[in-house]
Structure 1
Amino acid sequence: MRRADRLMKLVQILRDGTLHKAADLAAATDVSLRSIYRDMETLAASGVPIEGERGIGYRVTAAITLPPLNLTMTEMEALHIGLMAVGASDDTELSGAAKALLAKLDAVTPEDRSRAPQGSGFAIYPFADAARGFQHLPVLRQAMRTRQKLEVEIEGQNRIVRPLQLDYWGRLWTCVVWCEATRDFDDLRVDQIKRLRVLPSLFVDEDGKSLKDYNLRKRP
């Protein structure tokens, strides 16, 4: 398993909000405890809201609060999209300012981290190609609002999905979907989507296929 895939799997395990022991995470990903400790440090330094420490356990929290501001996940997402876009620009002054501002945001985000992020995650971010997914976010949001099915090309396969929820994990976006092919829920990494097409067919909530059903399944 590639490290980026392992880190994503760890986020998916931890996102239920409960405390997970490092030994259990190591068994679930088939790596050593030392690797898990390094992975937790990398995720925390990359902006994923990790809480916990060695010998106790880890969990991911969803709330992001910047004193004296209280930002929603959508507002935080918009802020990071803009800053990362500017940070990647050719304008040296603006790029430097965007990276400095992201570092300040990271510094005041109330997360229990073993070490402070450096370079606001630009250099150490484990999902380096996440910016590719920015273009898909408006389409995904619109499809969720209008309840339209999507044809998604991801990892060389075309899939028909029902988009249910966008989640934001430390500059990585995932989309909870119901997949028509597998007849099951899935968490798609938005940065891995190669092509996205809105289909004319609509969907309605059905037993076993709704976001409520997904959340019930994830509940410990």
Structure 2
Amino acid sequence: MRRTDRLMHIIQLLRDGALHRAEDLAAATGVSVRSIYRDLDTLAASGVPIAGERGVGYHVTAAITLPPLNLTMTELEALHLGLMAVGGGTDDDLSAAATSLSAKIDAVMPEDRSRAPAGYGFAVYPFADAARGFQHLPSIRQAIRTRQKLRLTINDTDRTVRPLQLDYWGRLWTCVVWCETTRGFDELRVDQITDLRLLPSLFVDEPEKSLSAFLACRK
């Protein structure tokens, strides 16, 4: 298993809200406990809100807040796009300002650092190229709102999916889908999508293919 795939698998294991020991994560991913500790440090540095400690267990927290503001997913997306566009530009002053703003946002996060994405807007390896997936977020969000199917290419494979929910993991965005190609649920990394098209066909809610069904099977 490639490290990027293993890190994504760790996120999926931790997000159920239960505590997971490093030993169990190591067994589930086929690596050493020491490697798991390094992976958890990397995920935390990338902004994934991980809570826990050695000898007790770890889990991923859900809330992304900036007191006294509560950010919607759309507002969070806009902030990401703005910081990345300015921070990656050629104007040194604006780039420095974007970095400074990122630091200020990080500074006013809650003292519970497990809930605060460190270095907001400028994640480190392994998800440093996640910005390339930002271009797809508006189309995915529209498809979720209008219940519109998507035809996408990911990892050189074409798939037709029903998008159900966008999730944010420290600058890494994932999309929960019902995949009509594989006939099952999946969580796709948006940064791995190389092509995406909105299809004219709509989908109706079906209990066994709904977001609530996905959440139930994750418990």
TM bin (shorter chain) = over 0.9
TM-score, length of structure 2 as denominator length: 0.92
Distance 1:111 1:181, change over 3 A: farther
Aligned counterparts of 2:91 and 2:85: Cα–Cα separation in 1: 11
What residue is the counterpart of 2:85 in the other structure? 85
What residue is the counterpart of 2:156 in the other structure? 156
Q: Displacement of 1:102 after TM fit?
A: 1.3
- The one-character-per-residue Cα deviations of 1:139-169 (angstroms, maximum 9, x if unpaired) are 0011111111111101111001000000011
Aligned counterparts of 1:112 and 1:40: Cα–Cα separation in 2: 17
Q: Displacement of 1:101 after TM fit?
A: 1.4
Instruction: Say if 1:64 and 1:110, in contact at 8 Å, map to a contact too.
Output: no
> Which secondary structure does the structure 1 equivalent of 2:207 belong to?
coil
Is 1:29 the equivalent of 2:29?
A: yes
- The one-character-per-residue Cα deviations of 1:16-68 (angstroms, maximum 9, x if unpaired) are 11111111111111111111111111111111111011111111111022223
Is 1:183 the equivalent of 2:175?
A: no
Distance 1:157 1:111, change over 3 A: farther
What residue is the counterpart of 1:208 in the other structure? 208
Q: Indicate the RMSD between aligned Cα atoms, in angstroms.
A: 2.0
> Which secondary structure does the structure 1 equivalent of 2:18 belong to?
coil
Q: Displacement of 1:120 after TM fit?
A: 5.0
Aligned counterparts of 1:118 and 1:156: Cα–Cα separation in 2: 32
Letter in 1 for 2:51: E
Identity of aligned residues (%): 73
Instruction: Say if 2:44 and 2:118, in contact at 8 Å, map to a contact too.
Output: no
Is 1:11 the equivalent of 2:11?
A: yes
Is 1:67 the equivalent of 2:67?
A: yes
TM-score, length of structure 1 as denominator length: 0.92
- The one-character-per-residue Cα deviations of 1:155-190 (angstroms, maximum 9, x if unpaired) are 111001000000011000000000011110000100
Q: How many residues align?
A: 218
> Which secondary structure does the structure 2 equivalent of 1:208 belong to?
helix
Letter in 2 for 1:41: D
Distance 1:96 1:85, change over 3 A: same
Letter in 2 for 1:91: D
What residue is the counterpart of 1:126 in the other structure? 126
Aligned counterparts of 2:54 and 2:189: Cα–Cα separation in 1: 28
Instruction: Say if 2:164 and 2:176, in contact at 8 Å, map to a contact too.
Output: yes
Letter in 2 for 1:65: T
Runs of 5+ consecutive residues of structure 2 not aligned to the other structure:
none
Q: Displacement of 1:81 after TM fit?
A: 2.3
Aligned counterparts of 2:118 and 2:165: Cα–Cα separation in 1: 30
Instruction: Say if 1:52 and 1:112, in contact at 8 Å, map to a contact too.
Output: no
Distance 1:170 1:63, change over 3 A: same
Is 1:218 the equivalent of 2:206?
A: no
Aligned counterparts of 1:36 and 1:112: Cα–Cα separation in 2: 22
Letter in 2 for 1:45: A
> Which secondary structure does the structure 2 equivalent of 1:196 belong to?
strand
Aligned counterparts of 1:120 and 1:206: Cα–Cα separation in 2: 37
> Which secondary structure does the structure 2 equivalent of 1:78 belong to?
helix
Return 39-48 or 122-131, whichever deviates more: 122-131
Aligned counterparts of 2:198 and 2:35: Cα–Cα separation in 1: 40
